[in-house]
């Protein structure tokens, strides 16, 4: 129990003194996960919208696939990306293995189905409301999709948040393709795993505190935004 409280004291000390190593790890974690969320939104939002608005053969199968892929195991994604990027793999020539870029790719693969599947649900619901009016106004399909994306923006922000939560908290994929290399590919989750195995609970706890604080802050910010939007009936 004494060790536990000592670790907490050290952890808060690291956070309060803005320890350089700690900041470096936090910065890389945010850089990797935010870039992955951005990339996943660029791919996933149009994909989700296309599935929501489009009527094509095999649509039901695509919906089932997207929903199933939301539960992709991170280690499996990590392994697949590892095989692709390793020297013997088809993309080995890019020399991306054990770089932050590889970690971004792995997290993007992991969360794109989440963004696509959840945005599909949000857009489809809104489309049901707008569809007849849009047909009556002869709104072209692309304009309809853009309007749906814009009008669902606050709900889609929550979707992006879900993706960010998954990305920033996952460890399996980034440890395989990133390698947890100090000052290069060490992010919060891989550092927590490593420091815990070494018995350095202070740094692991400090990172844990930061991780939870980030998650709470982002959630609170998005919720505040949604509440404001709802008050003005824009959400």
Partner 1 sequence: MPEAIAIAQARDAVAAKPAGEVSGLTYQAGGRFLIDSINLRIPGDGITVLMGPNGAGKSLLLRLMHGLLEATAGTVRWHGRGLDDDVRRQQAMVFQRPVLLRRSVAANIRFVLKLRGRSSDQQVEQILDEVGLGGRAAQPARLLSGGEQQRLTLARALVTEPKVLFLDEPTASLDPTSTAAIETIVRRASERGTKIIFVTHDLGQAHRLADDVVFLNGGRVAEHSPAATFFDAPASQAAADYLAGRLVLR
CB-based contacts of 118, cutoff 8 Å, min separation 6: 48, 70, 159, 162
Run of H or E residues at 235:
none
Token pair, residue 187, equals 């992010």
Q: Which is nearer to partner 1, 17 or 136 (CB)?
A: 136
Q: Which is nearer to partner 1, 129 or 182 (CB)?
A: 129
CB of 49 to partner 1, least distance (A): 16
Q: Which of 140, 150, 115 is nearest to 43 (CA)?
A: 115
Q: Which is nearer to partner 1, 9 or 128 (CB)?
A: 128
Q: Which is nearer to partner 1, 57 or 231 (CB)?
A: 231
Q: Which is nearer to partner 1, 61 or 233 (CB)?
A: 233
Q: Which residue has the tokens 């857009």?
A: 123
Token pair, residue 90, equals 């088809």
- The residues that touch partner 1, with contacts defined as CB under 8 A, are 129-130, 132-133, 135-140, 143, 147, 151, 232-235
CB of 143 to partner 1, least distance (A): 7
Q: Please, what is the Cα angle at 39 between 34 and 41, to 5 degrees?
A: 95
Q: Say how far apart CA 32 and CA 178 lie, in whole Å.
A: 11
Q: Which of 198, 193, 199 is nearest to 7 (CA)?
A: 199
CB of 126 to partner 1, least distance (A): 8
CB of 129 to partner 1, least distance (A): 6
The one-character DSSP state at 54 is -
CB of 135 to partner 1, least distance (A): 5
Q: Which is nearer to partner 1, 34 or 229 (CB)?
A: 229
CB of 226 to partner 1, least distance (A): 12
CB-based contacts of 185, cutoff 8 Å, min separation 6: 28, 98, 99, 100, 102, 103, 174, 178, 179
């Amino acid at each position: 129990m004494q060790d536990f409280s000592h670790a907490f004291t050290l952890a808060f000390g690291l956070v309060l003194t803005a320890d350089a190593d700690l900041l470096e790890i936090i910065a890389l974690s945010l850089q990797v996960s935010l870039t992955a969320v951005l990339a996943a939104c660029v791919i996933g939002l149009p994909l989700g919208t296309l599935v929501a608005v489009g009527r094509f053969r095999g649509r039901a199968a695509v919906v089932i696939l997207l929903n199933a892929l939301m539960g992709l195991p991170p280690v499996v994604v990590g392994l697949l990306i590892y095989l692709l990027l390793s020297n013997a793999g088809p993309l080995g020539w890019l020399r991306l293995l054990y770089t932050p870029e590889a970690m971004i790719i792995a997290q993007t693969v992991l969360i794109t189905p989440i963004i696509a599947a959840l945005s599909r649900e949000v857009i489809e619901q809104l489309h049901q409301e707008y569809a007849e009016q849009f047909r009556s106004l002869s709104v072209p399909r692309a304009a309809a999709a853009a309007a749906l994306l814009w009008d669902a923006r606050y709900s889609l922000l929550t979707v992006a948040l879900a993706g960010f939560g998954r990305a920033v908290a996952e460890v399996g994929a980034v440890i395989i393709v990133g390698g947890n290399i100090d000052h290069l590919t060490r992010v919060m989750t891989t550092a927590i795993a490593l420091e815990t195995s070494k018995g350095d609970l202070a740094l692991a706890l400090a990172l844990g505190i930061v991780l939870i604080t980030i998650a709470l802050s982002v959630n609170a910010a998005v919720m505040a935004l949604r509440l404001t939007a709802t008050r003005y009936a824009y959400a």
